[in-house]
Structure formats: structure tokens, C-alpha cells
Structure 1
């Protein structure tokens, strides 16, 4: 170089490139500290000003964060090739904890009963045989009522007959549950509510998957809890390296995860990631709230719950029958681990009791094998509907990223960055089509180019026709 200025310019750019390459190759992982300025000066034979200039440029690009008296830390993690993080080809900045404000659009979708259907006004078909059998079991339980039973409340934990059947159900999935570890709730949302109330207080920080379940965000808003969103991939769920970095930076009290087919992507968390999560929970004294609601929608064998690996009673398992059996059946359950006694108390405060007849009817339904039969039939139907949906999406004249879940009830669709699914919502509604835009699954304004589409219902002619309309409607939100 001909001048000192040009030489200095070359040197800081050379160091900047070397540091960025190290981050991309994960020589320094998300949340880890880079070598000190003094070390970089010595090893690269550079002046302090040159090193600081390179670091400041990377900080301005969002790759690093300067912490007073501590140094520079990695704040971005490169997305692996083909990894779907909701922002294809981009990295994710983890935002600090914040209060939650849920988009009002969610209420509109729920009022239309459209969370899992593009055409909620379409007339329903015949009841599946499994639901017919369920109604018979509940009817028989109602007819068996004797004496003054109808004048008494259920015990706080729920009917022992149902808890025994649930314990057997989980034993088949690898968790040796005992009936007294379970408490019956009025659904999974109620169970999640009890879990958060038991281990958090207003102002506490809760880590969630991003994109993640909007129902959790609603609960965090109502309980005045702060949220920190942890990136989650469409294949493996929450990024454990990102969670590790979050736990090192902020005082997280609880972490809510869906290891089995997380919504909206249907991700299945690998065993190694589950073990990593439990190790982090122990290291940081963290409560893990497991949303297990989609496990029984598995297209193959249902995976073991995270609770099966929980040797420290840090996992609070929450679930219900709403996704695997019937959304009208408002029965769920919770296994509270070390918080179970407090959860039983909170159950009394928030619900008092569950229907004894309903619980007995469901227990009988499970005991005679009807639930197992229903799940086998459902597995085949969901598999066919998922494949049919993905085939239809692949025929769209748009470059898409589509998740291929092995369980759950929906796929996560990533459109080009220029699309805005929120802007498309009213136009689709004019055609009687209700979409579920990506931003509902976050509080940070991400995923505007994303969409959740469910395969919970059969793809009859009208639903397929609505699906074929969507590319043109979505184009109206294209920038």
C-alpha cells in the first residue's frame, strides 16, 4: 500500500474479515466473548485503534455487542444452509426481554373459529368413528350417575380413574408417571396458565420459541410477564446455543417449549437438544414448561415427553385432548414437578373442580382401547392430508419454503421477504378465506412473509379451491 492510511484501512478490514469468518465457522458461538483487544493487538500485531475500528464495524453490523468492562460478545448466529428460521438467508438478532402485546387480529381469527381452517364456515362432514365412540362413553357415564353424586365437587387433582389412564398412556411413551403426579385441568391453556402462575411473578422473564404458540403470548400478556424470543428452526425447534446465550445475559425464570411438533412449524426436538435444555435448566435454576399437546398427532410413533428425561423435577408437563381428540372436550392435565403442590392450590382458585361425569367417560374411552383406535385412524388421515397440502403448495407459482412436519396439525410456509401476510388478511377475508399470518407467532414483528396453514380438515374441493386462490391474494401484500 502506498500510504499509512491505506495500510491501516487494509489491516482493519483484514481483521474484520478474520473475525467474521470465525463467527460464521462458530469458532466463537452465540453469546461467547471474543479475545480481548489487548490479545488481538498482540496476536495480529495491530494498533489498539485498528482493532477497535474492526470491532466497532462488526458491532454496527449487529454481529457483536460491547459490554462495559467485559469485552465484545457474539450476538448473531449465522443460519445454517437450508435451516428455516422464519427469515431465510438471514441471521436473527435476539432482542432483550420486553412486555407482551398480542395483535388484535388473533381475537378476530379465534372468533371465527378459524385457527385451524381456511374455510371455517364450510359445513362439517360426518363425525369420525372415534368421536362417535367418545360420545357414547360420556353418555354411559352420565347415565351411571347415582344418588347425590351430582351435588358434590370433584377432588382437586381430578378423577383418579382418568389420572390412572393418563399415567398408563404416558408409560407407553417412555415416562413412568404416577397418578398422583397429575392434575386435571380445563384444557392445555389452563394448564400453561397454572404452570406460569406457579413458577413466575409479574415482571419475570420467560423464554419462548420464535416463531412460537400465540396462546402462550396471550398468557404472558395477561400475567404481566416479560418475554425473550429464542430462535427456533422448522426441523429441530428451539436453538439451544441461542438459549444458552440468553440465559447468560438475562435472568430468565422459565422457558416454555414444545419438544414434540412445536407450532407453527411442527419441529421435533432431538434427544441431544433435550438433554442440553435440561442441563441449562439445572445450571441456571430454570423451570421448563413443556407443552406436549401435539405429541399424539404423530404420523409415526409418538415421541417420549421431555418429562421422561427429567431427573430434577424441573419440567412442568402440560397437555390436553384438544388437538388429538376433540377441541370441544375441555379436559387437560398438568404434571407440576416440584411446583405440583402449589399448582393444586391454584387449580382450586381458578377452576375449583372439573366435571366428574366427563372425566369418567373419557377414562372409560381410554380403558376400552377406543382412544388408541382413534389415534391410529387419525394418524393415517393426517398423513394423507399433510402430503396433499404440501403437494398443493409446491404447485404454487411462488418460491416457497414449506416445513414437512412428522406430527402436529400445520405446516409453516415461508414466502419471499417482499410478501406481507398481515396486509393480505382483509383481502382474503373478503373471499371467505381466513389465513393465519406469521407475525401472530411473535411479539417482535418478525415473520411477516410467513403463514401457518393447517391440515386438520380434509382437503375437499372447496378447501383446495381456496388454497389455489391464495397465491393471487398474497400477491396483494407483496411490496
Structure 2
């Protein structure tokens, strides 16, 4: 589990969620400082610090001798709306815009041509660990393929409720490669796959390549896939697999609650469904690291996929997959598609984890991501139009809904003329919906240039 946030952060998040859920509406008075101290068991200084942070975000205003009130005209309103209708399965055609964004290395950056400053300390330590592993080559070891035991990975996963064994894991070239292997192993051409909507556009690319059909499941940007909708879909169509991100899913950072996870597992058993868990964002949780969906898998049908690319380094193309009842087939497909993974890259990362480097890096990174998310929300308060946004507790991005009539696809080339790359909402669905939505990342520092691009 992640380190617990400071108590002022816990109170800030509780108040923020209350505003977000409209427990306190615009113009409502918040509990007094004394009431919050008594109710939450906090000191006066802790409560004041939390309220000051909310005031800095433009969500709370102070009225002399009256107290703290939710801002009367907040530009940020409640959670973005979702598309609730269910449509029949269809083939997938990925927009050329996706290829353009990836070519610009802009999936999580408004200004991909803006080079960052010094490497974070955790990445410096990682590079040293990998360098040491390379220097420790002996004799003709470099001529052989090998995969170091996944003991360090299993220790990490055991902390999240899943007592995996090294033989349960297969090393891949990132999470996208793992998802590709999972779909190839569990599906055949023409099969129907259920996915989240809005959901990860990389999955759409894989489905198109494998000639699979897609049925989109309405997905809350707060709590994830709508299980009632999933059940309705399973009753109507023969779905072979379901790709789901239970923890801080892109684009909105949804976190699926335990009861929904349990219902999903029961449906998978009833309808003989392969559940493909995209777990890539879980370790980014600001105040909690949820257990894996795989931890609930008593019938060996959850294919767990993840990597280090989102929480450590995107240049580190090192992921893993646990294939459940399809694992033997996945091992064969791994040999066909990649043959082997770098032995010394794996050893360097294993040493880095064992020496505590990953734990230290993640502790710092989670704090930075929380700060950058708050800075992004504060900046959006200054936008001239009202927007609906998610307030995720992990992940790398928010999902933003602009007023009806705004077309983010049409805005893409206009922004590109200014050197700004946006990620339009329609990329996250095959339905043609979400034209007035954007995914905005907070993974980079909000320096002057990025802040100016955002405004």
C-alpha cells in the first residue's frame, strides 16, 4: 500500500469530493473550522491548511465573520456525463488522428517538443542499476536469451492481494504488448470484445489489427465500467473477452469499487468470459494502491497485464502478463512475437526494486502527480467557459467535458498550428461520441510554456 497522505490532504480530498458530489452546492456554507476539528479529530492548523488549499483552487471563498463557502460561480462543475446507450457489436476502425498523436509522442503532453529539465532522482538511480547489470556480464552470457526470476514482481503484486509465483508471469515489451498477447490468446477473428467507453484508444488499435468486433460498455469516470450495462450486453451477445482497467483508468482516472469487481467476476464465470485486466496505472494512486482484480480470480480467468512505463519510465519497455488458463498459449505467442526480453534490463530493474529505488521513486512521484493535478484544476478555473472535469485519485490525466457544440476534433489542427497537441474525446470510443471532450494530462510540470498552452 502507498504511504498515507498527510491529514490535511485527507481532509482536502474529503471536502473536494463533497463539492464534487454536490453534498455542498455553490453558495453553501461548509462546516466551520471548529466543527471540522471535532468531527474529523484534527487540529485547527490542519483544517485551516486544507481550506486554504481549496481556496487557492478557486473552489472555496472566505466571507468575513461568516465562514467558508463553496464558490458561487465555479467554472468546474460535477463529473462529465457518460453515454448510457448500448449499441450492437461492430468492427473497429481507428482514426488516423491516433497515429498522428503517437508519431508526435504526444499521448500525455500538450507540448511534446518541449524538452524537460534534469532527470528525476529515481530515474538516475534506475539508470545506474541497469548500467551495473550490463557491466556484470561474464564470458559469453551476452549471447544467450534468459529471463531472470520474477521474484521482485511477485513481491510487489503480493502487496496488492495477489500471491503470484514467478512462473505465473511472462515478461513482455510493455503493457500494449501484453494486451496484444492476451487478445490473441483468448479470441479468434470476428469474436466480440467488450471494452470501456470512454476507454483506452490503444485497445481499439489492437482490436482493429486482430479483426475483432467491439461492444462498448458505458463507463463512469468515477467508478468505472457500468456492471448493469455489462450484464445486459452479455445477455444479448456472445462476448468472448472484456478488457477493463479497474484502477485509475484512462481517460478519467476511474476506480472501480469492490462490489462492482465482485459482480464482474461472477458475470465472467456465468458467461465464460476472459477478463483482461489493464493494471498499468494502479501504482500511481495518491492515497491508496488498490488490490488487483486478479486477487479475486478463483476460477483462473483474469489475464493480468501491466508494465513500468507509466509509473517509472516510458522508455522502459518492460511489462508482464499472467495468462490464467491461457498462459501456455501466451508463452508460445510471446516466442513468436518477441522471442525474448532483455536479460540485463530485467536484472537492472529487479536490483532497483530490491534496493528500494522503486518505492522511493513512487513516493515522490505520487506527491508530484497530486500537486500537478491540483495545479491543472486551478488553471481550469480561469477558463472562460464552464467545464465538467474528473478529479481522479490516481493516474496521469483528467477527462474534461466542454459545452455542447464544441468540437475538439475540429480544434486539433488549429491547436497544432500553435505547436499544441490535444487528445480529442472521440479517440476514446468507436461511437463517434465525446466530440466536446478532451483528455488532459498532468504528468509533466506546469512550467510557463505548458501553462500558457493550456490557457
Structure-2 separation of matches of 1:96 and 1:441:
17
Q: How do 1:327-342 residues align onto structure 2 when only pairs under 5 Å count? A: 327-342=314-329
Partner residue of 1:281 out of 268, 271, 292: 268
Partner residue of 1:95 out of 62, 71, 87: 87
Structure-1 separation of matches of 2:81 and 2:402:
12
Please tell me whether the aligned partners of residues 286 and 393 of structure 2 are also in contact (alpha carbons under 8 angstroms).
yes
Partner residue of 1:140 out of 123, 132, 138: 132
Structure-2 separation of matches of 1:357 and 1:439:
40
Structure-2 separation of matches of 1:250 and 1:391:
44
Structure-2 separation of matches of 1:365 and 1:85:
42
What residue in structure 2 maps to residue 293 of structure 1? 280
Please tell me whether the aligned partners of residues 79 and 388 of structure 2 are also in contact (alpha carbons under 8 angstroms).
no
Structure-2 separation of matches of 1:417 and 1:159:
53
Q: Give secondary structure in 2 for the equivalent of 1:102.
A: coil
Relative to the length of structure 2, the TM-score reads: 0.82
What residue in structure 2 maps to residue 364 of structure 1? 351
Residue 316 (structure 1) aligned with residue 308 (structure 2): no
What residue in structure 1 maps to residue 389 of structure 2? 402
Q: Give secondary structure in 2 for the equivalent of 1:93.
A: coil
CA RMSD of aligned residues (A): 1.0
Q: What whole-Å deviation, never above 9, does each CA across 1:423-446 have from its counterpart, x for those lacking one?
A: 000010011110000000001101
Q: How do 1:28-427 residues align onto structure 2 when only pairs under 5 Å count? A: 84-86=80-82, 92-154=84-146, 158-160=147-149, 163-427=150-414
Q: What whole-Å deviation, never above 9, does each CA across 1:393-418 have from its counterpart, x for those lacking one?
A: 12211111000000100000001121
Which stretches in structure 1 are left out of the alignment for 5+ residues? 1-80, 469-479
What residue in structure 2 maps to residue 5 of structure 1? none
Which stretches in structure 2 are left out of the alignment for 5+ residues? 1-76
Structure-2 separation of matches of 1:242 and 1:258:
16
Please tell me whether the aligned partners of residues 390 and 400 of structure 2 are also in contact (alpha carbons under 8 angstroms).
yes
Q: What whole-Å deviation, never above 9, does each CA across 1:288-341 have from its counterpart, x for those lacking one?
A: 000000011111121101001111111000000000000000000001111111
Deviation at 1:174, TM superposition (A): 1.5
Q: Give secondary structure in 1 for the equivalent of 2:171.
A: strand
Q: Give secondary structure in 1 for the equivalent of 2:435.
A: coil
Runs of 4+ in 1 over 6 A off after TM superposition: none
Structure-2 separation of matches of 1:233 and 1:113:
28
Please tell me whether the aligned partners of residues 372 and 442 of structure 2 are also in contact (alpha carbons under 8 angstroms).
yes
Deviation at 1:175, TM superposition (A): 1.2
Structure-2 separation of matches of 1:388 and 1:86:
25
Please tell me whether the aligned partners of residues 92 and 213 of structure 2 are also in contact (alpha carbons under 8 angstroms).
yes
Q: Give secondary structure in 2 for the equivalent of 1:261.
A: strand
Partner residue of 1:436 out of 423, 430, 447: 423
Structure-2 separation of matches of 1:205 and 1:84:
28
Deviation at 1:85, TM superposition (A): 3.6
Deviation at 1:351, TM superposition (A): 0.5
Evaluate the alpha carbon distance shift between residue 229 and residue 138 of structure 1 in structure 2; reply closer, same or farther with a 3 A threshold.
same
> Across the two proteins, how many residue pairs are aligned to each other?
379
